[in-house]
Structure 1
Amino acid sequence: MTKKEKFKLVEKFILENREAHYRLAYSYVRNKDTALDIVQESILKALNSIDRLDEIAYMKTWFYRIIVNTSIDFIRKHQRVTVMDDEILSVHLPQLEDEMTDMDLQDAIDQLPSTDKTLIILRFFEDLKIEEIAAITDENINTTKTRLYRALKRLRIEVGEDFRL
């Protein structure tokens, strides 16, 4: 396959799945503008490294890995900076009990190490299969299962035993 053909397929994939890509980046930074910046930077990285995509069948996991790594890099670089969305600022307004539970869950997820956070987001918020997550994180399937179980156990302890995803 020529580079031009590969470029067209990647471009089509990015455009067709842009909402999922944004959602994935947003799940890390919880800020609209920052998530859009991460997606944009990820697209640039993908297009610049298109030669590294050997199998078109693995395009989804390849691009998700780029988004996850770009998101984690952003968080590492900006650890001391807290970016807030209007939605987060609404914390000071009266809320429903379900919204508070969601905030507790999101706070607990944010407290996880970035590798565990990635597993939770990809499995339960992006609804990816264990095999896809293992490919994205470049790990063995059994390792991915074990780490996911451990991350869920940590969340149950943090949020409470009645917690369910």
Structure 2
Amino acid sequence: MPSLVAVCAVHALRPDSGSVGVTAIDKRALDGAVRIGPLGVRADVQASRKHHGGPDKAVYAYAQDDAQFWEQQLGRELAPGWFGENLRLDGVDVNSARIGEVWRIGDTVQLEVTMPRTPCATFARWVGGSAGRGWVKRFSDEGRLGAYLRVRRAGDVRAGDPVEIVSSPSDAPTVLELYRS
């Protein structure tokens, strides 16, 4: 059964040369039960609310399989939160999720897939070094983007909780199809 590997929130705001001057991409796994409310994971921050956060981008999910792919490509471990994600999921093909699909995590939380992540220059600077050069195109071309989600039902989640796809609109585009359209 699909499961929640980790729930992540900002570890520290970092200086960034982008227009905001800081980034909240440095997210790390949290221990124990973590509250997810209408605007996302409790204790998380979005430095640029113009591009991240709000009801339709309350939570960012990334797949463990995709993280393992990038670990092989980059030759280093990429712990939960490294992609700036709030949820690291195992057994869910996040990029094939349909827009409007509803997931239940644990007993209570329900999330709705709203849109793909669009990689940005801040993400490329986070990757750093030679890997950061051309990162936005490389990440986009590979199609391992992850998805933003809206919170339909708030509650507590923790690593190890089951993830269930409650409903999936068969006529809606997938995360990747929407990104490439």
- TM superposition score normalised by structure 1: 0.30
Choose 1 or 2 for highest CA Rg: 1
**TM-score normalised to the size of structure 2?**
0.28
- Bigger fraction of residues in strand: 2
**Larger RCO, structure (CA 8 Å, separation 6 or more):** 2
